[in-house]
Amino acid sequence: METRLLNDLKKLLGADMVLHQPEELLLYEYDGSVETARPNCVVFPQNKEHVLGIVALANRYKVPIVGRGAGTGLSGGALARHGGIIVSFTRMNRILDVDVENQRAVVQPGVVNAELTAVTAPLGLYYAPDPSSQKACTIGGNVSENSGGPHTLVYGVTTNHVLALEVVLPTGELVRLGNRAVDSVGYDLPGLFVGSEGTLALVTEVTVRLMRMPEMVKTLLAIFNTLDDTTETVAAITADGITPAACEMLDGWTLRAVEAYVHAGFPLDSAAVLLIDIDGTREEAESQAEQVADVCRRHNAREVRVARDAKERDLLWKGRKNAFGAVGRFSTTYYVQDGVIPRTKLPQTLRRITEIGEKYGYQIGNIFHAGDGNLHPLILFDARSEKQLRGAVAAADEIIEFCVQMGGAITGEHGVGMEKDRLMPLIFNENDLEVMRRVRDAFNPTGILNPDKVLPMKKGCGEIYARPLPDTGASPS
Amino acid sequence: MSLASKTVSARLPDIVGATHVIGEPAQLAYYEIDGKIPGAAVRPGSREEVAEVVKFAAAENLAVIASGARTKLGIGLPPARYDIAIDMARLDRVIAYDRADLTLAVEAGHSLSKVIGLLGDHRQFLPLFVPYFNRATIGGTIASGVDSPLRQYYGTARDYVLGVEYVTHEGVLAKSGGRVVKNVSGYDLHKLMIGSLGTLGVIVSVNFKTFPSPVETRGFVAMFDSAEKAVEMRHRAAKSPLTPLTMELLSPRVADLFASEAAARICSGAMPPDALSPKHWAFTSGYGGNGKVLARYETDFRKMAEEAGAVRAAVLDANTRPPAFSRKREFIPIALSASFSPATTIAKISVQPGNLIEVLKAAQETAESYSLDWAALVRGVGVIYLALLPGDKDEQWRARVMNTTNEIFAACERVGGNAMIPWARSGWKNTLKLWGPERGDFAQMQKLKKVFDPRGIFAPGRFVGGL
């Protein structure tokens, strides 16, 4: 990287806010995915003026820029695929406003997801989207990826909770999209920018909706002897007209891994369990919990446990949220996949995943958001072997292809990033993708921001494809 | 006949069949928008035919406006150009309804109420109880972006539209999103389509998440002698553990509107006597659940109403609630009825709930200072539908409406809200701030319009800032 650019960045941010030594950059080669890519430098802006300055420099030196929160992403969204500057938002981590009356919060992008709930909980409020990495991941990263989590089944994912954004466009403009009231007039710009995976803008401020804590939460653990009974129960709960706050499934193998680590009391000999939250007023939670327990029993649950208090509930959820960590005790590396299917297709999809694991010779654990059909197969492999990595990716691709055959999608909450851009043609044809490319090019015309993510290159096209639309000279109106 | 219209009448029958091309002036008058009548109208029978029509229009540089039941074409500025009306009525198929998955894919011309009826047979529904409910189509509902009383609990279309298929300016079919309830594959372009008035493309089908119907529903109504007290009741309900399905405040004048013959023509059933009073502000809320849940809501609501100083309160049951609910749903058509004003103007103002009383006061004072009759329906999430009911449609009344909306919009802007005028007389539109005050993000909207419609053939001139 040009020394002049490094010097300009240091002048803008201070020397200690610019990392460029190889050993300093090592950490930033990774996120939570199996991809790696090394940036040329990492910078830490502390305010939006810094972000504007960084974007101006990147444009002047024609160097790619990639935004990054905590680096917990699972699709390589925050990796510098073609090198360049990583803009880490960890120093922009202030909660700017919590408005109890209007149930709004305004935060900088580096605020950690769980911190927002921790700060607002004493006021009776919380921030609903709760990715499993919520103790580390940032709201800015959540906005870029449109993150979900177990409790998004009834309350919705990030996009359903974001009212307004302040962003810096790669062309160097600071823009506010939406405001603190609902129904912003005009095109739904926040709706487009949330989930654009850092390819349209860098987010410098986020206005979110806060939810009121429910009066009661009932947590149920339903234990099954067969996978089919478990998956059929999920569809039956929905068919019965109940939408739980969360409905998570852990298969037997994952359960045993988790139990050895968390000691939550998960049964070691079962085929699978469902972890279900029901919330609302006391009357709603109690009656729906009874209804759900009935459905589980009708579908051969051998036992339905109800957490007696908050302590028991937290322990069960600790098992779920720390599952990926627990798996680390069995395998040095694992590949977390993310596919979606219509929830009625769970039985055959889980059977297929088992077959694919056997075919390629990998242990695959399943721990996922069963209620909305969002699968997370965990493929265990040894990263020291290139062959093992390639095999794991091939197995994962086959799983995703099956999800698409079932009427599903290639990612439910982890994003496309640099992991699945090549899989986009499984669900989108060239017309669909071309419109998305043009939208990207309208905001990111030189491709300087997070290049080569989300959208695959055109077929048989190795050259620069980011071609702006021909300007016809006609006014659009 | 102009050269353009000659080409049109020669080529369109090849695409949709001669019986589905309308060229007779008398018949074309039906497709009028703000006084403009198109040169031709077509009734395509498939998504592919819509694409071919657009491809032809693009090649000839003709402007198209798609419409369904034509109930919400009052929204938007008069079109800058309008050559071909695309009547979507024949695109009325249910593409897929997977009831166990709670997902639905349906063509744009399908009747909204019929599709909700179909879901009802399976104890499911779509929370889109929008104005002109019995006639509205899926496509028009999504393109116009109108909201429903049920947004209190279920949110708006952007929260449950899973994907959209549309025709691009090149006349090809493209899609965004999918048919599963959770999906982050690609950009959410379907969110841009919602409320875009067809200025980005022609929506040909929409995928929805459907919802299980509540076991039983009830309505709660409480009467207050001031707007302050009614708003205070809203705040109490919002802070309570209750999560009702609907929550609205109605200004005193709404009692007359809902009791009127016009309302009886539009809605079925008679308004329950004494449910509203022309002397009071009303707080109304619908809720659902089993017997125990319903009892809890009633107890809590009654207690809150008493604490907020209600004059009286009542519970509406399975018989009395539907007529009241349908009138809230149809507030706009009722207010637009000629029996109240020859020039009803509807302003939509959204603010944070904490600013509601301030903006309501400003609205009331401004309207009254110009001697304008008015009625307001206020959604609990902070959306005010203000019906201004001028005494006549002449220049003097137009100026009063203009001044009133400008002043209210300024008050709304001061508290960081959003404002627009979804319904006004065609002749008044160009002098009113139809799309509200100027916006800082307009340049970004222009970029999008240029991507989706570089030649300006989709409903040109109708949207924000003349997009």
What are B241-275's pLDDT values in tens digits? 999 999 999 999 999 999 999 999 999 889 988 89
pLDDT at A465: 34
In a domain, A227, yes or no: yes
pLDDT at A325: 82
Residues of B in contact with A242 (CB under 8 A): 212
Q: Do A243 and A291 reside in the same domain of the chain?
A: yes
Q: Which domain holds residue A106?
A: 95-212
State how far residue B423 is from chain A, nearest Cα, in angstroms: 15
Q: Do A207 and A100 reside in the same domain of the chain?
A: yes
- Choosing from A88, A122, A141, the residue where a domain stops is A88
CATH of the domain at A27: 3.30.43.10
- Residue from the list A146, A183, A440 with its beta carbon closest to the beta carbon of B184: A146
Q: Do A228 and A309 reside in the same domain of the chain?
A: yes
State how far residue B274 is from chain A, nearest Cα, in angstroms: 30
CB B71 within 8 A of CB B89: no
State how far residue B186 is from chain A, nearest Cα, in angstroms: 7
- Residue from the list A187, A283, A369 with its beta carbon closest to the beta carbon of B196: A187
- Residue from the list B184, B196, B456 with its beta carbon closest to the beta carbon of A411: B184
pLDDT, greater one: B269 or B216: B216
pLDDT at B100: 92
A194 contact B CB<8A: yes
Per-residue pLDDT band for A459 (boundaries 50, 70, 90) equals: low
Question: Which sign does the torsion angle of CA A155, A417, A194, B453 carry?
Answer: negative
Q: Choosing among B98, B121, B182, B217, which should be mutated to test the A contact, i.e. which has the most A CBs within 10 A?
A: B182
Distances from the Cα of B367 to the Cαs of A23, A184, B383, B387, in angstroms? 68, 24, 18, 10
pLDDT at A234: 95
CB contact under 8 A, B451 and A469: yes
Residues of A in contact with B186 (CB under 8 A): 416, 424, 427-428, 432-433, 436, 454-455
As for the ipTM of the complex, it is: 0.97
Question: pLDDT at residue A464 above 80?
Answer: no
pLDDT at A472: 35
A73 contact B CB<8A: no
Q: Do A125 and A80 reside in the same domain of the chain?
A: no
State how far residue A411 is from chain B, nearest Cα, in angstroms: 6
| Mean pLDDT over the full length of chain B | 96
State how far residue B372 is from chain A, nearest Cα, in angstroms: 25
State how far residue A204 is from chain B, nearest Cα, in angstroms: 16
Task: Tell me the pLDDT tens digit for each residue of A336-360.
Answer: 999 999 999 999 999 999 999 999 9
- Choosing from A88, A116, A146, the residue where a domain stops is A88
- Alpha-carbon distance B455 to B125, whole Å? 39
Task: Look up the pTM and report it.
Answer: 0.96
In a domain, A40, yes or no: yes
- Alpha-carbon distance A420 to A75, whole Å? 7
- Residues written for chain B: 467
In a domain, A25, yes or no: yes
A131 contact B CB<8A: no
State how far residue B245 is from chain A, nearest Cα, in angstroms: 13
pLDDT over 90 percentage in chain A: 86
Q: Do A178 and A249 reside in the same domain of the chain?
A: no
Q: Do A124 and A44 reside in the same domain of the chain?
A: no
Question: pLDDT at residue A477 above 70?
Answer: no
Task: Tell me the pLDDT tens digit for each residue of B361-417.
Answer: 999 999 999 999 999 999 999 999 999 999 999 999 999 999 999 999 999 999 999
Measured CA angle at A94 (ends A92, A100), to 5 deg: 145
The residues facing B315 across adjacent strands are B220
Question: pLDDT at residue B4 above 70?
Answer: no
Closest chain B residue to A346 measured between Cα atoms?
A: B101
Residues of A in contact with B213 (CB under 8 A): 241
pLDDT, greater one: B178 or B3: B178
B385 contact A CB<8A: no
pLDDT at A333: 87
Task: Tell me the pLDDT tens digit for each residue of A168-226.
Answer: 999 999 999 999 999 999 999 999 999 999 999 999 999 999 999 999 999 999 999 99
Domains of chain B with CATH codes: 3-89 (3.30.43.10), 94-212 (3.30.465.10), 217-325 (3.30.70.3450), 341-431 (3.30.70.2740)
What's the whole-number mean pLDDT along residues B293-308?
A: 98
CB contact under 8 A, A412 and B180: yes
Per-residue pLDDT band for A374 (boundaries 50, 70, 90) equals: very high
Question: pLDDT at residue B455 above 90?
Answer: yes
B303 contact A CB<8A: no
Tell me if residue B208 falls in helix, strand or coil: strand
Q: Do A75 and A105 reside in the same domain of the chain?
A: no
- Residue from the list A179, A440, A477 with its beta carbon closest to the beta carbon of B466: A477
A75 contact B CB<8A: no
CB A134 within 8 A of CB A114: yes
Structure-token pair, residue A44:
């830490």
Task: Tell me the pLDDT tens digit for each residue of A37-76.
Answer: 999 999 999 999 999 999 999 999 999 999 999 999 999 9
In a domain, A237, yes or no: yes
The alpha carbon of residue A265 and the mean position of all alpha carbons in its chain are separated, in whole angstroms, by 28
Closest chain B residue to A434 measured between Cα atoms?
A: B174
- Choosing from A88, A110, A145, the residue where a domain stops is A88
CB contact under 8 A, A104 and B451: no
- Residue from the list B182, B352, B451 with its beta carbon closest to the beta carbon of A438: B451
- Residue from the list A183, A432, A455 with its beta carbon closest to the beta carbon of B175: A432
Question: pLDDT at residue A476 above 60?
Answer: no
Q: Do A260 and A151 reside in the same domain of the chain?
A: no
- Find all residues with CB under 8 Å of A425, minimum gap 6, and list them: A433, A456
Task: Tell me the pLDDT tens digit for each residue of B149-195.
Answer: 999 999 999 999 999 999 999 999 999 999 999 999 999 999 999 99
pLDDT at B5: 61
In a domain, A345, yes or no: no
CB A56 within 8 A of CB A43: no
Closest chain A residue to B196 measured between Cα atoms?
A: A187
- Find all residues with CB under 8 Å of A416, minimum gap 6, and list them: A75, A197, A410, A423, A424, A453, A454, B184, B185, B186
A473 contact B CB<8A: no
B59 contact A CB<8A: no
Q: Which element (helix H / strand E) includes B389?
A: strand B383-389
- Residue from the list B101, B187, B351 with its beta carbon closest to the beta carbon of A439: B187
In a domain, A384, yes or no: no
Q: Do A181 and A254 reside in the same domain of the chain?
A: no
Residues of B in contact with A341 (CB under 8 A): 180
Per-residue pLDDT band for B145 (boundaries 50, 70, 90) equals: very high
Q: Do A247 and A192 reside in the same domain of the chain?
A: no
Q: Do A100 and A204 reside in the same domain of the chain?
A: yes
Residues of B in contact with A142 (CB under 8 A): none
How many independent structural domains does chain A possess?
3
Concatenated DSSP letters of B429-457: GGGS-TT-S--TTHHHHHHHHHHH-TT--
B292 contact A CB<8A: yes
State how far residue B174 is from chain A, nearest Cα, in angstroms: 5
B420 contact A CB<8A: yes
CB B206 within 8 A of CB B142: yes
Cα–Cα nearest to A248, from A266, A268, A260: A266
Sheet containing A41-43: which strands, arranged edge to edge?
A: A18-19, A41-43, A85-88, A65-68
CATH of the domain at A112: 3.30.465.10
Closest chain A residue to B200 measured between Cα atoms?
A: A187
Residues of A in contact with B451 (CB under 8 A): 435, 438-439, 441-442, 469
CB contact under 8 A, B184 and A101: no
B418 contact A CB<8A: yes
Q: Do A231 and A287 reside in the same domain of the chain?
A: yes
In a domain, A142, yes or no: yes
CB A25 within 8 A of CB A37: no
The alpha carbon of residue B26 and the mean position of all alpha carbons in its chain are separated, in whole angstroms, by 29
pLDDT, greater one: A333 or A88: A88
B98 contact A CB<8A: yes
- Amino acid code (one letter) for A306: V
Q: Choosing among A435, A438, A444, A453, which should be mutated to test the B contact, i.e. which has the most B CBs within 10 A?
A: A435
State how far residue B154 is from chain A, nearest Cα, in angstroms: 9
In a domain, A422, yes or no: no
Residue pairs between chains A and B whose CB atoms are closer than 8 Å: 264
B439 contact A CB<8A: yes
CB contact under 8 A, B101 and A443: no
- Lookup result for tokens 């990147």: A58
pLDDT at B168: 98
CATH of the domain at A274: 3.30.70.2190
pLDDT at B59: 96
- Residue from the list A177, A212, A411 with its beta carbon closest to the beta carbon of B185: A411
A405 contact B CB<8A: no
Residues of A in contact with B356 (CB under 8 A): none
CB contact under 8 A, B449 and A477: yes
